[in-house]
A = this chain, B = another copy of it.
Amino acid sequence: MTEYPPISEQLSADDLESARTEGRRKMDWADQHMPIMNALRDSFEADQVLEGERIAMAMHVEAKTAILVEVLADAGAEVAVTGCNPLSTHDDVSAALDTHERITSYAKRGVDDEEYYDAIHATLGLEPTITVDDGMDLVAAVHEDYPELIDGIVGGAEETTTGVHRLRAMDDDGALEYPVFAVNDTPMKRLFDNIHGTGESSLASIAMTTNLSWAGKNVVVAGFGYCGKGVARKASGQNANVIVTEVEPRRALEAHMEGYDVLPMAEAAEIGDVFITTTGNRDVIVEEHFEGMKDGVLLANAGHFDIEIDLEALVDLAVDTYEARDGVEAYELEDGRRLNVIAEGRLVNLAAPISLGHPVEVMDQSFGVQAACVREMVENGDEYGPGVHEVPDELDKEIAEIKLEAEGVEFDALTDTQREYMGSWDHGT
């Protein structure tokens, strides 16, 4: 295993002290608005449900994720955590986490590629029984570099669409050797995290990074999956004129039937004011598109990887590039048009200078499912064979009930007559 220092050894003593205080303050704020995690912490801690477990985590290390890390540690587990994106780590939160007696945090913002993977490997030094991923880095590292760990791992959980997509491909190849919950695929995750979380936070980040408005703008949303739907709906809710691009006919039709314009990117490129990619695929906006764009457009990515906007092609096209504003790189074309790329085409709600990741409450729900999945792996992991598994319906439902109770929302229960009716088929018109 790589020798890689935890955050506490990477910061100076002074920086560390203030980072811990500031990180704690951020976590306290998140904690105040995470009723699900609070409820789970109470029950997990009381029963020490993860006692004896060792958990490796590669996540966006900021205040909200930190609460998940803490809840798992408070439940009795030892945890080693690092980032899943070089730009998304908050060092102060990383430092605050590292003070917990059962948590070691290796996450640091701005590390290079080598350091990034060293930190990933360092978490595996814990010889984990559980892996918790946001982009499949840990599962990949275990299978490629540390196959000897597989036997000791009861299971894993994966947060993102992209990660799950890659895990399924791996599973189809018969290459995935332990069970992993596709947290991404739960109704909870998709609806709240992708639609509300990605939608709201991406738009707020772009607005606050650029000081520009949505009203009357042509906003091109590439992809009409859950993230794309969220971005489209929230942009429309700010009075933007939304244009959707898609490759799947039913999604294209769905967008059309919701009243959005649906166009091929080549046509959308010429009328868009803002472009937001959410496809999870590569090369969504490429040279031919850049060539047709208007002066002053904004380009941002809300998909996991920074591969959707072909920045290499843009660099080649540009005669000049400069920082137009914090987090905004302007690419000036030969004829004077300026294309403004936000946060280097990385996940905009995490990587932009004014960005905070998903809203607290949304992550509360998502992490609630994560925590319940980890508990499930520990309690019933042997019931799941190697491969990608859907989150059991009951776990997902449990979290919804906890949330509704916390929000004071009451709802109906089926009566016996109704339950019986739902199960019968032998009654007439």
Q: Chain A residues in contact with chain B, CB under 8 A?
A: 25-26, 28-30, 32-33, 63-64, 84-86, 113, 116-117, 135-137, 140, 165-167, 169-170, 173, 187-188, 191-192, 196-197, 200-201, 203-205, 207-208, 210-216, 234, 236-242, 245-250, 252-254, 256-265, 267, 281-283, 296, 305, 307, 324-325, 328, 338, 354, 356-357, 359-362, 396-397, 400-401, 403-404, 407, 409-415, 417-418, 421-426, 428-429
Q: A204-B204, A252-B400, A265-B412 are in contact. List 4 more A-B contacts (CB 8 A).
A: A196-B257, A215-B258, A262-B409, A282-B421
Report the nearest B residue to A223, measured CB to CB. Answer: B412
In the complex, what distance in Å separates the CA atom of A206 from the CA atom of B397? 31
| Residue contact B136 to A412, C-beta cutoff 8 Å | no
Q: Say which residue of B30, B85, B136, B428 sits within 8 Å of A425 (CB atoms).
A: B136
Contact A215/B259 with A252-B400, A404-B249, A425-B136 known, Cβ cut-off 8 Å: yes
In the complex, what distance in Å separates the CA atom of A30 from the CA atom of B213? 12
Please state the number of chain copies in the assembly. Answer: 4
Q: Say which residue of B136, B166, B213, B239 sits within 8 Å of A360 (CB atoms).
A: B213
**Which chain B positions have C-beta within 8 A of A216?**
196, 256-259, 361, 407
| Residue contact B281 to A421, C-beta cutoff 8 Å | yes
| Residue contact B165 to A253, C-beta cutoff 8 Å | no
**Which chain B positions have C-beta within 8 A of A207?**
200-201, 204, 359
| Residue contact B356 to A411, C-beta cutoff 8 Å | no
| Residue contact B259 to A239, C-beta cutoff 8 Å | yes
Nearest-Cβ distance from residue A422 to partner chain B, whole angstroms? 6
In the complex, what distance in Å separates the CA atom of A250 from the CA atom of B369? 13
**Which chain B positions have C-beta within 8 A of A415?**
283
| Residue contact A246 to B29, C-beta cutoff 8 Å | no
* 8 pairs of residues in contact across A and B, judged by CB atoms under 8 Å: A140-B426, A165-B425, A169-B423, A196-B213, A196-B257, A208-B354, A234-B238, A253-B403
**Which chain B positions have C-beta within 8 A of A213?**
196-197, 200, 359-362
**Which chain B positions have C-beta within 8 A of A238?**
200, 234, 237-238
The winner among A234, A236, A241 for most chain B CB atoms within 10 A is A241
The winner among A242, A283, A356 for most chain B CB atoms within 10 A is A356
Nearest-Cβ distance from residue A321 to partner chain B, whole angstroms? 15
Report the nearest B residue to A254, measured CB to CB. Answer: B191
Q: Say which residue of B166, B204, B411 sits within 8 Å of A208 (CB atoms).
A: B204
| Residue contact B260 to A241, C-beta cutoff 8 Å | yes
Top 7 A-B residue pairs of the complex, sorted by shortest distance between their CB atoms: A237-B237, A213-B359, A166-B425, A196-B215, A249-B400, A169-B425, A216-B257
